[in-house]
């Protein structure tokens, strides 16, 4: 592995772009293929499939055997609501290597004392998500219970390739939410992406238990399907 | 926090830039119940310092020994571990799986 390939791999990942290091197992030079250049590569189809799965693995072709080291960006969890559940969610999410951002314009909630060591943005989600777009390696959870904050963020998430979109609230709350978002022009298929009530059905009661249910659902979306949410 | 495989490759780059000799070991194939998935990395320097894991601890010692040879002669090696392998008497996977590990120098 040349230092230059290794450096490019790391730089692409830091810039939230995927890249693949192709190692011919019968000898021959390695090469690095950036996500944007996959289509033009001789092994394009095989590399594209590996990228879709987001997993490293072997590729066997008539031309030989290759190992593809797939590097995808760190998985992000974007949350609206610096609420009680988020206080439990943030440290738990960090343990499973999710890069957490919490957005809440209410400065009384979004205080560093309540959220040590977390990227906490005391701003409106539409402004934040314009500067930090949600990509296919991002999960989004709406947790404020306040439509003024959650709705614009959910709209941004539904317009994105987010691999997970979840929203807190009872079935009744969610039905009203779907009505509002429907009026904004989202189709039933768009709206069906929203996991609500949020979280795996484990009978969660306390904020930490609800956080666990949410994270379980996020991990399932990440691991049981490809980053785009297609069945793998 | 546990180091992820991505962080491990960042560290491999940092070690190399700091002038250390570095090898990267990667799990490229698994059979049966292997402890770490395909794509897992172990990064080793010329002094035997390491980061990451290719087997959750079962065969790391042997991989590190081989990595020192890889660093010494700058030639990649393919290693295989598991119950079906005669090296199982020496180092084996207690879980009964088999893994193939590619060890290469960072040049």
DSSP code string of B37-105: -TT-EEEEETTS-EEE-SSTTSSHHHHHHHHHHHHHHT--EEEEEETTSGGGGTS--TTS-EEEEEEEE
Confidence of residue A229 (pLDDT cuts 50, 70, 90): very low
Q: Does residue A227 surpass a pLDDT of 60?
A: no
Mean pLDDT of B18-22: 96
**Is the bond preceding A197 in cis, omega lying within 30 degrees of 0?**
yes
Q: Do B107 and A2 touch (CB under 8 A)?
A: yes
Better pLDDT: A180 or B61: A180
Mean pLDDT of A167-190: 96
Q: Tell me which chain B residues have a C-beta less than 8 angstroms from the C-beta of A95.
A: 1
Residues 47-76 of A with CB under 8 A from B: 55-58, 67, 69-71, 74
Sign of the CA dihedral with A157 first, then A163, A166, and A171 last = positive
Q: Closest by alpha carbon to A141, among A74, A193, A186?
A: A193
* Digit-coded pLDDT (tens) for B35-53: 788 999 999 999 999 998 8
List the domains of chain A with CATH numbers. Answer: 3-71 (no CATH), 76-223 (3.40.50.720)
Q: Does residue A197 surpass a pLDDT of 90?
A: yes
**Widest distance between CA atoms in chain B:** 40
Give the pLDDT confidence score for residue B104 in this predicted structure. 95
Strands of B22-31's sheet, edge to edge? B50-52, B41-45, B22-31, B98-105, B77-82
Sign of the CA dihedral with B59 first, then A23, A59, and B8 last = positive
- Who among A57, A71, A95 is closest to B6 (CB)? A71
Q: Tell me which chain B residues have a C-beta less than 8 angstroms from the C-beta of A3.
A: 13, 16-17, 106-107
Mean pLDDT of A7-34: 91
Q: Tell me which chain B residues have a C-beta less than 8 angstroms from the C-beta of A91.
A: none
Better pLDDT: A231 or B77: B77
* Digit-coded pLDDT (tens) for A120-171: 999 999 999 998 889 989 999 999 999 999 999 999 999 999 999 999 999 9
**Residue holding tokens 């785009």?**
A228
Q: Do B102 and A74 touch (CB under 8 A)?
A: no
Mean pLDDT of A101-124: 95
Instruction: Identify whether the C-beta of residue A213 lies closer than 8 Å to the C-beta of residue A200.
Output: yes
The alpha-carbon gap from B39 to the nearest alpha carbon of chain A, in Å, equals 5
Chain B residues near any Cβ of chain A (below 8 Å): 1-2, 4, 6, 9-10, 12-13, 16-17, 24, 26, 28-29, 37-39, 78, 102, 104-107
Give the pLDDT confidence score for residue A230 in this predicted structure. 43
Q: Closest by alpha carbon to B6, among A30, A109, A98?
A: A98
Mean pLDDT of A85-110: 95
Token reading at A97: 């290597």
The answer, for A5 touching chain B at a CB cutoff of 8 Å, is no
Please, what is the average pLDDT of chain A? 92
Q: Do A69 and B104 touch (CB under 8 A)?
A: no
Instruction: Identify whether the C-beta of residue A155 lies closer than 8 Å to the C-beta of residue A122.
Output: no
- Who among A1, A3, A13 is closest to B104 (CB)? A1
Instruction: Identify whether the C-beta of residue B105 lies closer than 8 Å to the C-beta of residue B22.
Output: yes
The DSSP H or E segment spanning A50 is helix A44-53
Q: Do B1 and A67 touch (CB under 8 A)?
A: no
Token reading at A147: 């439509």
Give the pLDDT confidence score for residue A181 in this predicted structure. 97
- Pairing between β-strand B98-105 and β-strand B22-31 as defined by DSSP bridges: antiparallel
């Amino acid at each position: 592995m040349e230092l230059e390939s290794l450096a490019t791999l790391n730089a692409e990942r830091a810039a939230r772009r995927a890249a693949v290091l192709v190692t011919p197992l019968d000898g021959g030079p390695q090469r690095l293929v950036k996500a944007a250049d996959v289509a033009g590569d001789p092994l394009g189809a095989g590399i594209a499939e590996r990228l879709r799965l987001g997993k490293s693995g072997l590729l066997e072709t008539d031309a030989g055997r290759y190992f593809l080291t797939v590097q995808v960006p760190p998985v992000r969890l974007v949350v609206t609501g610096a609420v009680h559940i988020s206080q439990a969610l943030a440290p738990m999410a960090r343990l499973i290597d999710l890069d957490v951002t919490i957005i809440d314009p209410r400065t009384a909630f979004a205080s560093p004392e309540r959220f040590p060591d977390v990227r906490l943005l005391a701003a409106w989600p539409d402004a934040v998500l314009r500067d930090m777009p949600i990509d296919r390696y991002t999960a989004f959870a709406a947790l404020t219970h306040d439509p003024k904050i959650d709705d614009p963020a959910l709209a941004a998430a539904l317009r994105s390739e987010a691999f997970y979109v979840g929203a807190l609230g009872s079935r009744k709350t969610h039905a009203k939410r779907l009505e509002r978002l429907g009026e904004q022009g989202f189709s039933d298929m768009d709206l069906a992406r929203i996991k609500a009530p949020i979280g795996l059905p484990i009978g969660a009661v306390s904020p930490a238990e609800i956080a666990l249910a949410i994270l379980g659902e996020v991990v399932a979306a990440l691991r049981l399907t490809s980053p785009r949410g297609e069945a793998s | 926090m546990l180091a992820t495989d991505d962080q491990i490759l960042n560290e491999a780059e940092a070690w190399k830039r700091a002038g250390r000799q570095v090898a990267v070991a990667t799990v490229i194939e698994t059979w049966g119940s292997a402890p770490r998935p395909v794509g897992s990395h172990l990064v080793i320097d010329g002094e035997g310092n390491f980061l990451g894991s290719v087997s959750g601890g079962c065969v790391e010692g042997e991989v590190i020994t081989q990595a020192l040879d890889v660093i010494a002669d700058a030639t990649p090696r393919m290693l295989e571990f598991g119950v079906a392998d005669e090296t199982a008497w020496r180092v084996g996977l207690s879980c009964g799986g088999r893994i193939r590990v590619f060890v290469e120098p960072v040049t």
